[in-house]
Amino acid sequence: MSPPKFGKQFPHSVNYFNQQKMLKFIRSDLSQLNAYKAHPGSDSAEPVAMQFDRLDTNESPLDLPPEIKEKLAWTYQQVIETNRYPDGGHEALKNAIAQYVNESANLANSPFTAANISVGNGSDELIRSLLIATCLGGEGSILVANPTFSMYGILAQTLGIPVVTVGRNQNNFETDLEAAKSAITQTQNPPIRVVFVVHPNSPTANCLTAAELTWLKSLPEEILVVIDEAYFEFSQTTLAGQLLQHPNWIILRTFSKAFRLAAMRVGYCIAHPQAIAILEKVRLPYNLPSFSIAAALMALENRHLLLQSIAQTLSERTKMITALSAHSILEITPSATNFIYLRIKTDDSNSPVTFLTSLNQKLRNQGTLIRLLPNGLRITIGTAAENTRTLERIQSALQNESNYHSSASVSTLP
Ligand SMILES: Cc1ncc(COP(=O)(O)O)c(C=O)c1O
């Protein structure tokens, strides 16, 4: 939409939309901040065209089945009063989530109840609430191991919270534990108050290792450990059972991935009741729309049906990894989730960054969006048809890549 033309009424309006300098009332550090881009390369204000194969945001490629959508539409028409505020206490949803957490972690005696659950407008909201509850006002810094989910750092920066980063082992992507330990000892004013880990990590697709777990268990009670299990349904590996021994651990989960509800923005966290009580104080009163609450409840009621598609995603993942591994220039690492991470094997004379950027762009030109990262590419597992197209497009992009001709055979795609 083009800006309205105020012309004569507002003689200064010419400058209004062309203002280059930052408005003077904005916090100076925010001008440098790079916001999260859902689909980098496009103007994120615009919805990305449906005709793209969108393999860049780790969603499920499948919409809700029509019968569930119909039930949801019926709920919208017959039950939800749009003139009324939503249920601000989320009691029914928290009970259903607690039951799912107990069941999915095979926990005897159902230890988790609604008192252990808080829900957010996506787990992104919960990340922000956790930062507000722990680090705001100069009380703490956060620690992340890069590459990882970018929102921890972005949200911390928006709140003026320092972000300390360490690297990862380049073979198995384990956190550089020596660097992490020394960062915790050395970071003062403010000290590290929160460690964020992802299990399995995005973009590298690996679960936490035994050594990482030992380290997390050794962290003192004044450090909060956030274990982001956004991809739990794909990895089927959870630390929920260990939460009861560690009051300073919190698990984050989301309905945006395996439950196919990214559009509804529902995430949740599992934690000690005291931590939950603080999160409930920090959040906005009606943070979840009624429609989103209804959708999450319906997804949980129909979980067996919805989660059946995971088997197909995992077999498609095997298909992708096998096919991509046939390209000797691509380095594919194991994946515990619904995306794969690949890097480029080049000798010193070739720049991996240039190669990755070019491959990403070529795929985009052919209609496939994937995620370009500083040292690799992340590809979400899509439908069988999307994956086949992606493999063909990668094949074609590599065939055209002049660097590639000398070092690899291009006719090996199964
Ligand atoms: C590790 C991780 N955590 C959290 C999220 C955000 O989830 P939500 O849609 O619930 O905000 C994502 C989304 O990609 C993610 O990869």
pLDDT of amino acid 373: 95
Report CA(204)–ligand 1 centroid distance (Å): 14
In a 13 Å sphere around the CA of 66, the CA atoms on its Cβ side amount to: 0
Task: Give the 3-state secondary structure of residue 347.
Answer: coil
Query: With a 6 A CB cut-off, is 346 part of the ligand 1 pocket?
Result: no
Query: With a 6 A CB cut-off, is 228 part of the ligand 1 pocket?
Result: yes
Residue 334 β-bridge partners: none
Report CA(244)–ligand 1 centroid distance (Å): 24
Q: Is the pLDDT of residue 413 over 80?
A: no
Task: Give the 3-state secondary structure of residue 53.
Answer: strand
How much is the pTM?
0.91
Nearest atom, ligand 1, residue 266 CA: 10
Over residues 37-93, the pLDDT tens digits come to 777 766 555 556 568 999 999 999 999 999 999 999 999 999 999 999 999 999 999
Report CA(257)–ligand 1 centroid distance (Å): 8
Closest by Cα among 166, 245, 162, 237 to 206:
237
Nearest atom, ligand 1, residue 201 CA: 1
pLDDT confidence tier of residue 167, bands split at 50, 70 and 90 = very high
Q: Whose CA is nearest to atom 12 of ligand 1?
A: 230
Report CA(297)–ligand 1 centroid distance (Å): 19
Closest by Cα among 185, 191, 196 to 162:
191
H helix runs in 200-309, sequence order: 210-218, 232-235, 240-243, 273-282, 290-301, 303-307
The more confident residue out of 23 and 182 is 182
Over residues 328-357, the pLDDT tens digits come to 999 999 999 999 999 998 765 568 888 999
Q: Percentage of residues in the chain with pLDDT exceeding 70?
A: 89
Query: With a 6 A CB cut-off, is 148 part of the ligand 1 pocket?
Result: no
Q: Whose CA is nearest to atom 2 of ligand 1?
A: 230
pLDDT of amino acid 38: 73
Backbone angles phi, psi at 197, to 5 degrees: -130, 155
pLDDT of amino acid 411: 34
pLDDT of amino acid 213: 98
Q: Is the pLDDT of residue 2 over 90?
A: no
Lowest average pLDDT, out of 82-91, 98-107, 256-265, 399-408, goes to 399-408
Report CA(123)–ligand 1 centroid distance (Å): 6
Report CA(234)–ligand 1 centroid distance (Å): 14
pLDDT of amino acid 298: 98
pLDDT of amino acid 19: 64
Nearest atom, ligand 1, residue 198 CA: 1
Cβ-proximal residues to 195 (8 Å cutoff; 6+ apart), any chain = 142, 143, 144, 180, 184, 216, 219, 223, 224, 225, 226
Can you tell me the distance from the alpha carbon of 94 to that of 409, in angstroms, rounded to the nearest whole number? 53
Report CA(71)–ligand 1 centroid distance (Å): 26
Nearest atom, ligand 1, residue 120 CA: 10
The first and second tokens of residue 107, run together, are 């926990």
Best mutation site among 118, 127, 148, 202 for ligand 1 pocket (most ligand atoms within 8 Å of CB): 202
Best mutation site among 55, 123, 126 for ligand 1 pocket (most ligand atoms within 8 Å of CB): 123
Q: Percentage of residues in the chain with pLDDT exceeding 90?
A: 80
pLDDT of amino acid 21: 74
* CA–CA distances in Å: residue 79 to residues 82, 86, 294: 9, 12, 10
Over residues 241-299, the pLDDT tens digits come to 999 999 999 999 999 999 999 999 999 999 999 999 999 999 999 999 999 999 999 99
Best mutation site among 55, 149, 264 for ligand 1 pocket (most ligand atoms within 8 Å of CB): 149
pLDDT of amino acid 405: 46
Mean pLDDT of 362-367: 93
pLDDT of amino acid 25: 85
